[in-house]
Structure 1
Amino acid sequence: MRTLRSPASKLSLFLLLSINLFLIILVILTVFGIASAALIRFGWVPANFYERPVVGPLFFACVVSLFIGFSTLIMIDSVLIKPMHRMIDAVNELAKGNFGTRIRLAKGSHSLEINEFARSYNKAAEELGSVELLRKDFINNFSHEFKTPIISIKGFAELLQDPELPQAERDEYLEIMISESDRLARLAANILELSKIDSQKIGSGMTVFSVSEQVRRAILMAESKGAAKSLAFELEIDEVAVLGNPDLLKHAWVNILDNAIKFSPDGGTLAISVRRTEQSAQIRIRDEGPGMDETTLRHVFDQFYQGDTSHASEGNGLGMALVKKVLTLHGARIDIDSAPGEGTTVTVTLAEAEATLGKNEAL
């Protein structure tokens, strides 16, 4: 962390305060002199009052005044001016992108407002530092995910230039190139979707619709992928409506189902339920896959994070990040229950339409 030092220009405010204090004393003395002259002129004070020996008391008064003045200036410099310059330096460092800068003030030696500003600044700098770290991680991960399929496509394209390459290998390489191209397309689509959700406002596109019907359609869309792995679907769907953006929520169900199918073993069972609970809709999807350990569970919603570090399974680590953003936008809760070798259960809880409408009317 950078230790802040006040610049040489810090004297400007100190001198300004000194001049102001001098002018205030000068005005007070002038007013006092005029008042004294008026009192003598009107006879309210004896004319020989000031002929008495008062040099000692006046000198003492001047010394005390100077001491009080300088003490006041030193206190103002310590309590106000120096902290202000530390804050100015800190803000300048923040503007340069140095998010590790902090304002350090001794407790109790400054006003409440300055201490509060320092706390607010430190909190803002910490948040900005976290955002910057996430941004760098995002760029690094995106670059890796984007570069890998491009290198793969380039490598197989160079192999295809060989005129003596057997047709079987040629077809295999073309299939891999098509697969990698699809991977790039999915990555670009997910990035665009995340960007769209980040700028989305919950008030736009809101309508009451049947979440039960939407989940059924998501299952139909995923049926071909399930059939390829001979999965059995166990369905338990109540009729329940919610207030939300159907286009956004559709992405949530599709991504959760895709994950469940991707990690399910061949011939496994996928249990899907939609139930009405107390003023809410509960959507639950359970698979019989390998499950997740505690580390994977902690990072499951991080962008580009993949529990399968070998990247043997299809995906780019954006699906669950997209799901989390969509559900957060709707004020919904998502819980994941999983353990190695025990499969994974994803539970989403959405407010029922009647409960949501009733709450909005009450507001």
Structure 2
Amino acid sequence: TLARSFEEMMHDLQQLEQMRRDFVSNVSHEVQSPLTSISGYALALKQVNLADNERSRYLDIIIAEADRMSKMSDSLLKLSLLESQSQQLRLFTFSLDEQIRRVIVAIQPQWSARNIRFELNLTAVRLMADHDQLNQVWTNIIGNSIKFSKDGGVINISIKQDIKNVTVRVSDTGIGISLEDQKRIFERFFKADRSHSRKYEGSGMGLAIVKQIVSLHQGDIRVESVPGRGTTVIVTLPITTPAE
């Protein structure tokens, strides 16, 4: 009926308005934190009798916080472009297993120093997709597995192919994610386990971007996790992404 359609429309509008408010609130909160640090340490630098080593440490913190704001800004722009679909996917055929190997090598400094090792079961797969976008997907997912793994941990990565799809599984033996947090893990700015938020620094934007890229490829992403035992991220993609 017309009345029900109107109620549904009003409900959708209320949801959109709530999402807008949450987004503005989150942006404000995420920007305020590094700004407060920058302001505080900049004021401290004005002290005349500050030791050189302290001055250098304060400058390093200011640089790091400014870099964090820059990355956050880049992530927001990237996500808005993906959501508006103003960026066309640049599709061509490439080796998926080779791409994943190259990502692991590229981020070696993140895992080698902590004695984390990889167990790979990568079926040779040729995939038609946007190479650069998927490169960001694997960099983020594998980077998260490294970040939340214990020193000396193991990360398993496998590729399986059927007639139409390819499935990539990235499993770690890290801290895991609670069932409640798993429901929100792909939301913008969401950070699971906020008690560790300073130890595991990030913008909370990475998985939102990953989700959007996978969706644009008409694929699917999901998470399986047990707190204290580890997390598996499962990405399913069509072997040939349909051109828009």
TM superposition score normalised by structure 2: 0.92
State the shift of 1:190 in Å: 0.6
* C-alpha distance 156-246 of structure 1, shift in aligned 2 (>3 A): same
Q: Do the aligned partners of 1:202 and 1:330 also contact (CA within 8 Å) in 2?
A: no
* C-alpha distance 352-201 of structure 1, shift in aligned 2 (>3 A): farther
Higher relative contact order by CA 8 Å / sep ≥ 6: 1 or 2?
Answer: 2
Match of 1:77 in 2: none
Q: Which piece of structure 1 moves more, 219-228 or 142-151?
A: 219-228
The one-letter code matched in structure 2 to 1:132 is: E
Deviations 1:236-256 (A, max 9, x none): 211112222222222211111
Deviations 1:158-183 (A, max 9, x none): 11111211222222222222221221
Q: Do the aligned partners of 1:304 and 1:316 also contact (CA within 8 Å) in 2?
A: yes
Match of 1:265 in 2: 150
Q: Do the aligned partners of 2:177 and 2:193 also contact (CA within 8 Å) in 1?
A: no
State the shift of 1:209 in Å: 2.3
Match of 1:324 in 2: 211
5+ residue gaps, structure 2, are: none
TM superposition score normalised by structure 1: 0.63
Q: Do the aligned partners of 2:167 and 2:236 also contact (CA within 8 Å) in 1?
A: yes
The one-letter code matched in structure 2 to 1:208 is: T
Deviations 1:69-121 (A, max 9, x none): xxxxxxxxxxxxxxxxxxxxxxxxxxxxxxxxxxxxxxxxxxxxxx2x32222
Rounded to whole Å, the distance in 1 between the matches of 2:10 and 2:143 is: 38
Rounded to whole Å, the distance in 2 between the matches of 1:331 and 1:155 is: 46
* Percent identity of equivalent pairs: 37
The one-letter code matched in structure 2 to 1:315 is: G
- For the aligned residues, what is the CA RMSD? 1.8
Match of 1:174 in 2: 59
Rounded to whole Å, the distance in 2 between the matches of 1:124 and 1:336 is: 31
Rounded to whole Å, the distance in 1 between the matches of 2:93 and 2:87 is: 13
Q: 3-state SS of the aligned residue for 2:203?
A: coil
Query: Which one of 122, 128, 150 corresponds to residue 237 of structure 1?
Result: 122
Matched, 1:131 2:16: yes
Rounded to whole Å, the distance in 2 between the matches of 1:170 and 1:277 is: 58
Q: Tell me which structure has the larger Cα radius of gyration.
A: 1
> Which is richer in helix?
1
Match of 1:249 in 2: 134
Q: Do the aligned partners of 1:280 and 1:349 also contact (CA within 8 Å) in 2?
A: yes
Matching of residues 30-69 of structure 1 within 5 Å: none
> Which is richer in strand?
2
Rounded to whole Å, the distance in 1 between the matches of 2:86 and 2:165 is: 22
Deviations 1:249-300 (A, max 9, x none): 2221111112111111112111122222343211111111110111110110
* C-alpha distance 201-276 of structure 1, shift in aligned 2 (>3 A): farther
Q: 3-state SS of the aligned residue for 1:307?
A: coil
Matched, 1:337 2:224: yes
Matching of residues 283-302 of structure 1 within 5 Å: 283-302=168-187
Q: Which piece of structure 1 moves more, 335-344 or 212-221?
A: 212-221
Matched, 1:227 2:112: yes
Q: Which piece of structure 1 moves more, 145-154 or 125-134?
A: 125-134
How many residue pairs end up in the alignment?
Answer: 241
Q: 3-state SS of the aligned residue for 2:32?
A: helix
Q: 3-state SS of the aligned residue for 1:188?
A: helix
Q: Do the aligned partners of 1:202 and 1:329 also contact (CA within 8 Å) in 2?
A: no
Q: Do the aligned partners of 2:115 and 2:153 also contact (CA within 8 Å) in 1?
A: yes
5+ residue gaps, structure 1, are: 1-114
State the shift of 1:143 in Å: 0.6
State the shift of 1:202 in Å: 8.2
Q: Do the aligned partners of 1:275 and 1:283 also contact (CA within 8 Å) in 2?
A: yes
